[in-house]
Amino acid sequence: MSPTAFALIVLAGLIHAGWNIVAKKAGGDARFAFFTAFIMMGLWAPLGWWLGRGVVSTWGRVEWTLVMASGVLHVFYYVTLLRGYRKADLTVVYPLARGSAPLLSSLVAIVFLGEQISALGVAGIAGVVGGVFLIAGGPGLLRAARDPAARRRVHKGMFYGVLTGAFIAAYTVVDGYAVRWVLMSPILVDYMGNFVRVVLLAPSVLRDRATAWQLWQRQWRQALMVAAVSPVAYVLVLYAMQEAPLSHVAPAREVSMLFAALLGGHLLGEGERGSRVLGALCIAGGVVALGLG
């Protein structure tokens, strides 16, 4: 992995961890997802227009199919993530989502896209996944908790975390194919896919406009923050995919867990600091191994 790709992934990880903490605090649902997508549509319109003029009109069936698939998968990902945040702790949902995704996306890239990975790269994936497991609670996840309510909360977090990870893996493969093999602009892939997200999420707002308005008044600041920075994080990752194999980039994205471990637990007061720090160190080692591999 080139130093440029590595730097892009580290910066994206910091931004990604930050906006997830904001989304967790918002406690939103599909309507919050619509708010962020709608703001994103207007906020990034000048850049989308500048890059898309003379390009989008030349897209054919392949490009539009990829954009549509990306938009749909991102909707399922974001709504599932937000539901997980309402049902369980960020420090369970987020690590499991981030940890299961690279396994799935790297497997697809290696098996179906013909990418190669070295033994050091395999060790890096193992370090990332092991670190995520520790951050999520380590062996305690297997034993769950003695308190039935706590056990149900952990189990819900595990379910939504892994399901979110599956959607992350799916959109990573689709978007990675778009920017690496079809040579589409990373910014346009994300921006044009956002129009799909707006259309799919609009019914959640239109069904009950009065409630949506109340939620908007409480959540618009968080929605604005997420809309402003989340595209930056993901576009940086897409540019990294142009520089390095998908099977390396996908696991390396989990460097965001370093920042989530140090910031999320403190800001949200979810405990287990020791295992999070150890897990973060495992992730750091895994990312370095991927960088060298």
Query: Residue 130: what pLDDT?
Result: 82
Q: Which residues contact 90 (CB under 8 A, 6 or more apart)?
A: 20, 21, 24, 260, 264, 268, 270
Least confident span in 25-29, 138-142, 164-168? 138-142
41-79 pLDDT per residue, tens: 999 999 999 999 999 999 999 999 999 999 999 999 999
Q: What is the tens place of the pLDDT at every residue in 3-14?
A: 888 888 888 888
Per-residue pLDDT reduced to its tens digit, 23-43? 988 888 999 999 999 999 999
Spans of all domains in the chain = 3-51+59-292
- Is residue 17 classed exposed, middle or buried when 0-12, 13-18 and 19+ CB atoms within 10 A define those classes? buried
Residue closest to 172 by CA, chosen among 237, 224, 125: 237
